[in-house]
Amino acid sequence: MRTHIKNISWSVRIVESIISLILLLLVSPLLLLKACYLKYQHAQAIEVVYLHSGNEKPIALLQFIQPQWSYWLGLINVIKGELGFVGCQYQYEVLEYQDYIVRPGLMSFSQMHSRMGIAYDKFTIDPKLNASVSRYILTTLRYLIGYTLSSKMVCTSQTHFTLLKVAISNVTMKQAIDSLLTSGRSRNCDAFAFVNTDCMNIAHTNIEYRQVLNQTKQVFADGSGLRLACKYNHIVLKDNVNGTDMFPRLCEQAAKNGTSIYFLGAKPGVAEKAAANMTKRYPQLRIAGIQDGYFKAHQTEDIIKHINQSDSGILLVAMGAPTQEMWIANHQHQLNVGAAVGVGGLFDFYADAVTRAPLALRQMGMEWTWRLMQEPKRMWRRYIIGNPLFVLRVLIDLIAQRLLAHKSANKATLQFASTPSQNANPLVATSINVNLLDATTQRKSWGKQRWFFSKIKLNQISKRLLDISASASLLLMLSPLLLLTACAIRLESKGNVFFSQTRAGQDNQPFTMFKFRSMFTDAEARLGKLTAQNDMQGGVLFKMKSDPRITHIGAWIRKLSIDELPQLWNVFKGDMSLVGPRPALPSEVNQYQLSDRRRLMVKPGITCIWQVSGRSHIPFDKQVELDVDYIYQQSLIKDIKLLFKTIPAVIFARGAY
């Protein structure tokens, strides 16, 4: 009986069918071209694979004979109701059938865990997945994000790779634990380390730390940031080997093998509680010793002596990167433990001082958003600035590698051409060499041009990544303030809380911009009577210091720029950017001179140069000059600096009215 089909609501069927039909219509020209090409090249374009359906009639899944783009054909099965967007892993008919908990899907729970490198983590399948359209869509979106971050292949023989000059071990969670336990049985201290995007950013600028990492026995890749970087470099990362997931599994195996563990680091009391929680879970676990990380330098020798006397096999050092790795490297020759590994803030999680992100976020590789919400003051720089910066560095390194490879190939060609050949015609040889030199000069010129445009493209990518991560984080963190502001506006005056208005976007494309309503609802009707009192020079923009249309709450939120916060949604959508020229009204654009229209070359932003240099006190023509200066000098670093300068400009309300 196909219970997994019977439990599908009509709303889910209607939504998935409509979406599948639209997607198929959009990609049908490409699919048709693909089919024609395969038919011409191989005399066959499509094959049929049969899957278990849960009853006697199998599911016929169409696939191209070459696997690329085959998943689009699976949308036909979604329209027919045989498969869902997400569900159980479908089973080939040639294999033994095991009951489906829910309907099979194009994306599966088991595949998701494998691709995200958390196959070691147990997953549960919601039996009511197909009963609610909201639950179904949210699950599908969650898995789409995970699939975007992950690699297609989940099997690889590559055991090591280098990323941003750091040598990293490509191992599974089980292999990493086995390596630690093997070293733990000896008394020759081996150093291990975990690296995430923050560690990689530190290693990029801290040469000593990078050298220490490269001298450790193994460096484990931790987090979705490194998985994304590996995807860009066509490296298939086996597992997300992070300390938080490894710790309980390591304790379990250590308890079975009789390997003792020493806890060093964290605040007083944290390591003790983490150790107590682990011994409750694994009673056979041997805790060799516990020492917090708040000790003086002169106490180091006594602590090392205590570690050595404890007969510990594995030393966990929780001091944060790069301090913990540097401490291990400096004292490695004194330690009689088999394995010493830096574990960062690991003890906090298992001492119940910090909560772990829900599995849903970890499946998407978005655990960092949970940490950011928990400790925004401490973590905002690491994630909001650090994550886009890491991606930018990876992309720059990737382009540099390709340019170097291209240069090496050209050099090899020149060396071959310059090698004299017996019985060669000197005139012909000279002509060949001249042509090759001309070609090489042309290639260098093209290389410089490609590098120039690549930098522009990289800047656009990094800017968009910063916009998405920062706007999403700020919307979450500022949600209480947004709610209070909405309530205050509604209590003072009737009407909509939000004010929406058509503005001119990039290339003068119109979009709807959102703000908190700071004026009475009849403000637009009263504008004509106030035009003569415009305080703004130039006549294009309208600004009035004592505008009678502004409400009491509106005056405060305008002064503190709180009325602009809903535009974070425009930034998240892609209509605007965090930094850029302010979006103009279409009526204002109609008054622009030709030179003023240069402001429309980029996405409009929430803040820019003139917003931090006087705001409304600056005349329009000067605003245009500052905006154009920004357009030609824009970079990720400049954007970050302008965002920092915006904070005091908002706090002190310079030029705001």
Span 571-599, pLDDT tens digits: 988 899 999 998 988 888 888 888 788 88
Q: Is the pLDDT of residue 445 over 80?
A: no
Q: Is the pLDDT of residue 538 over 90?
A: no
The Cα angle at residue 444 between residues 443 and 445, in degrees rounded to 5: 90
| Opening angle at CA 656, ends 654 and 657, nearest 5 | 145
- What average pLDDT does the structure give for the chain? 83
Report the largest interatomic distance among the alpha carbons of the chain, rounded to a whole angstrom.
96
Q: Are strands 160-163 and 166-169 parallel, antiparallel or unpaired?
A: antiparallel
Instruction: Say if residue 388 is preceded by a cis peptide, omega within 30 of 0.
Output: no
Residue 642 reports pLDDT greater than 90: no
Of 154, 274, 82, 96, which is closest to residue 291 (Cα–Cα)?
A: 274
| Spatial distance between the Cα atoms of 10 and 137, rounded to a whole number of angstroms | 14
Q: Considering only 36-45, 312-321, 504-513, which range has the smallest mean pLDDT? A: 36-45
pLDDT digits (tens, 9 = 90+) for 458-508: 778 888 888 888 888 888 888 888 888 888 888 888 888 888 889 999 888
DSSP 8-state symbol, 385 = I
**Residue 424 pLDDT greater than 50, yes or no:** no
Please give the average per-residue pLDDT across 18-24, as a whole number. 90
Is pLDDT of 250 > 80? yes
Q: Range(s) for CATH 3.40.50 in the chain?
A: 160-367
Q: How confident is the model at residue 184 (pLDDT cuts 50, 70, 90)?
A: very high
What does the pLDDT read at residue 197?
Answer: 94
Q: Which amino acid is at 446?
A: W
Q: Is 543 strand, coil or helix?
A: coil
| 421 pLDDT more than 50 | no
Looking at residue 216, what is its pLDDT? 95
* Structure confidence at residue 432 as a pLDDT band (50, 70, 90): very low
CATH for 160-367, among 1.10.3470, 3.30.70, 1.10.10, 3.40.50?
A: 3.40.50
Token pair 């600096």 is at which residue? Answer: 641
The span from the CA of 355 to the CA of 371, in Å, is 9
pLDDT of residue 427: 44
Map residue 155 onto helix, strand or coil.
Answer: coil
| Tens-place pLDDT, residues 280-329 | 999 999 999 999 999 998 999 999 999 999 989 999 999 999 999 999 99
Work out the pLDDT band at 409, boundaries 50, 70, 90: low
pLDDT of 593 reads: 83
Residue percentage of the chain with pLDDT more than 90: 33
**pLDDT 10s digits, 140-177:** 888 787 777 666 555 566 789 999 999 999 999 999 99
What is the model's pLDDT at position 109?
76
Cα 294 vs. chain centroid, distance in angstroms?
Answer: 33
Comparing CA positions, the residue from 355, 346, 88 lying closest to residue 242 is: 346
User: What is the CB-side half-sphere exposure of residue 433 using CA atoms within 13 A?
Assistant: 14
pLDDT, greater one: 539 or 179: 179
- Dihedral angle sign, alpha carbons of residues 14, 20, 25, 28: negative
- What pLDDT shows up at residue 340? 96
Classify burial at 268, counting beta carbons within 10 Å of its beta carbon; exposed 0-12, middle 13-18, buried 19 or more.
Answer: exposed
Query: What pLDDT score was predicted for residue 543?
Result: 59
CB atoms within 10 A of CB 276: 14
Q: Which residues contact 432 (CB under 8 A, 6 or more apart)?
A: 417
User: What is the mean pLDDT of the segment spanning 90-117?
Assistant: 82
Give the tens place of pLDDT for each residue, 65-78. 887 888 889 999 99
Q: In sequence order, what DSSP letters do the residues of 276-334 get, joined into one string?
A: HHHHHH-TT--EEEEE-S---GGGHHHHHHHHHHTT-SEEEEES-TTHHHHHHHHHTTT
Of all residues in the chain, the percent with pLDDT exceeding 70 is 84
Query: Is the CB of residue 67 less than 8 Å from the CB of residue 74?
Result: no
pLDDT over threshold 50, residue 1: no
Kindly report whether the global pTM for this prediction surpasses the value 0.85. no
